[in-house]
Amino acid sequence: MPKVSIIGAGNVGATAVYYIAEKNLADIVMVDVVKGLPQAKALDYLHAAPMRNYQVHILGTNDYQDIKDSDVVILTAGIPRKPGMDRMDLMKINVDIAKKAAQAIAEYAPNAVVVVVSNPLDVIAMATLQETGFALKRVMGMAGVLDATRFRYFIAEKLTVWPGDVMAMVLGGHGDTMVPLPRYTRVNGIPVTELIGPEDLEKLIDRTRTGGGEIVSLLKQGSAFYAPGASVAKMVEAIIKDEKRVVPVSAYLRGEYGYQDMFLGVPALLGKNGVEKILELPLTDAEKTALDASAKAVKDGVDTLRSFFSPG
Ligand SMILES: NC(=O)C1=CN([C@@H]2O[C@H](COP(=O)(O)OP(=O)(O)OC[C@H]3O[C@@H](n4cnc5c(N)ncnc54)[C@H](O)[C@@H]3O)[C@@H](O)[C@H]2O)C=CC1
Ligand SMILES: O=C([O-])CC(=O)C(=O)O
């Protein structure tokens, strides 16, 4: 049985466990700093095993050593935002948490593929890569799968069609500058631009961009976790089953799309080695301009990250 460890047994971490266990994908280890929390959640899940036919083991622990030899490690440790906050506002606290987790991952699970979830996503992915020292393709961020599924849902709702028939592509950083791409979005092969007019489409694009924020303002405490947990499970499945799925992920770019040495959401082929290939889509001038703005927002975040660690 493959082994997946989830750092952070909060809302996203514990929900990802649910989706992974329901599909019997892997043995799961949940690590959290809060004593008793991961243990309680693991036991609670195991109580459901006879009814839900779980054939996987679930361990809750406060000891990072238990992630030993994981195939995949998911990093969800960190604080979520509150209404009125931008994801970038979480950087200072979450970078420190991510660095500690990354050191443990490097020590105990040196061969793992790492999927970062904590926000600000593309910046925390960078910090995790630096701290683990892992190969570039073995560290990625989860964002595009979530952003695209939100776009898919909004389109399906608008057209009253089966959501699974909608396939969508969203590029860029995981923030309000993300770039949903109607030209690469289809309803069972039919370009969405044939089915929804430009004004209505623009509204769905805006709602996708602020999809996380909409939930933050409704919840008032914490942020989304059901769709994020499901997005994590989809990526875990693609990696451990070596599915070679084409999904948008935050991947380290070395010149692709014209960006150098930064994480950004792009379509990629996901398999057992992590990000096995980055797919470069031709973009119109308007799409490229929007992606440039999104890349700049991420780059500014990375510059802020550097300033935390520069002397003086
Ligand atoms: N990339 C994405 O699309 C999404 C990202 N997020 C982000 O994921 C993160 C987690 O969100 P939630 O699960 O809702 O938060 P949460 O507060 O429910 O859970 C976070 C957990 O991390 C734990 N933690 C803190 N420091 C730790 C450490 N050093 N080692 C292990 N565990 C530690 C906390 O005790 C807590 O249980 C947030 O930063 C949030 O913004 C959330 C949704 C989607
Ligand atoms: O909105 C947030 O802070 C959490 C998140 O990244 C999302 O749900 O997209």
**Which atom of ligand 1 is least distant from the CA of 124?**
39
203, 224: one domain: yes
Q: Please tell me the predicted confidence (pLDDT) of residue 308.
A: 78
131, 167: one domain: no
Ligand at minimal distance from the CA of 229 is 1
* DSSP labels, 255-286: SGGG-EEEEEEEEEEEETTEEEEE------HH
- 299 is in which domain, residue-wise? 144-307
Is the residue at 125 inside a domain? Answer: yes
Total tally of structural domains belonging to the chain: 2
94 among annotated binding-site residues: yes
279, 150: one domain: yes
**Which atom of ligand 2 is least distant from the CA of 227?**
8
CATH code, 189: 3.90.110.10
Residue 312 CA to ligand 2 centre (angstroms): 32
Is the residue at 95 inside a domain? Answer: yes
Ligand at minimal distance from the CA of 228 is 1
Is the residue at 312 inside a domain? Answer: no
Predicted confidence band of residue 310 (pLDDT cuts 50, 70, 90): low
Per-residue pLDDT reduced to its tens digit, 207-263: 999 999 999 999 999 999 999 999 999 999 999 999 999 999 999 999 999 999 999
136, 164: one domain: no
Per-residue pLDDT reduced to its tens digit, 257-298: 999 999 999 999 999 999 999 999 999 999 999 999 999 999
166, 266: one domain: yes
Predicted confidence band of residue 42 (pLDDT cuts 50, 70, 90): very high
Q: Which of 210, 216, 232 to mutate to test the pocket of ligand 2 (most atoms within 8 A of CB)?
A: 216
150 among annotated binding-site residues: yes
Is the residue at 124 inside a domain? Answer: yes
153, 114: one domain: no
Decide which of 108, 141, 174 is a domain's last residue: 141
Per-residue pLDDT reduced to its tens digit, 139-170: 999 999 999 999 999 999 999 999 999 999 99
Report residues whose beta carbon is within 6 angstroms of any ligand 2 atom.
80-81, 87, 119, 146, 174, 212-213, 215-216, 223-224, 228
* Residue 249 tokens, joined: 């992920």
Inter-CA distances, 110 with 45, 175, 204, Å: 28, 30, 41
106, 161: one domain: no
Decide which of 124, 141, 158 is a domain's last residue: 141
Cβ neighbours of residue 189 under 8 Å, at least 6 residues apart? none
7, 38: one domain: yes
Query: Is residue 247 within 8 Å of 34, Cβ to Cβ?
Result: no
Is the residue at 115 inside a domain? Answer: yes
Instruction: Say which of 3, 41, 137, 174 is annotated catalytic.
Output: 174
60, 162: one domain: no
Query: Is residue 209 within 8 Å of 234, Cβ to Cβ?
Result: no
CATH code, 65: 3.40.50.720
208, 105: one domain: no
pTM above 0.90, yes or no: yes
Is the residue at 68 inside a domain? Answer: yes
Residue 224 CA to ligand 2 centre (angstroms): 6
Conformational region of residue 267, where left means phi above 0, alpha means psi within -120 to 50, and beta covers everything else: beta
First to last CA, the chain: 49
103, 154: one domain: no
12 among annotated binding-site residues: yes
Annotated active-site residue 174? The verdict is yes
Per-residue pLDDT reduced to its tens digit, 84-108: 999 999 999 999 999 999 999 999 9
Residue 213 CA to ligand 2 centre (angstroms): 7
Is the residue at 55 inside a domain? Answer: yes
Decide which of 84, 110, 141 is a domain's last residue: 141
223, 272: one domain: yes
Ligand 1, atom 16, lies closest to the CA of 10
Ligand 2, atom 5, lies closest to the CA of 212
Is the residue at 17 inside a domain? Answer: yes
**Mean pLDDT score of the chain, rounded to an integer?**
97
Per-residue pLDDT reduced to its tens digit, 163-209: 999 999 999 999 999 999 999 999 999 999 999 999 999 999 999 99
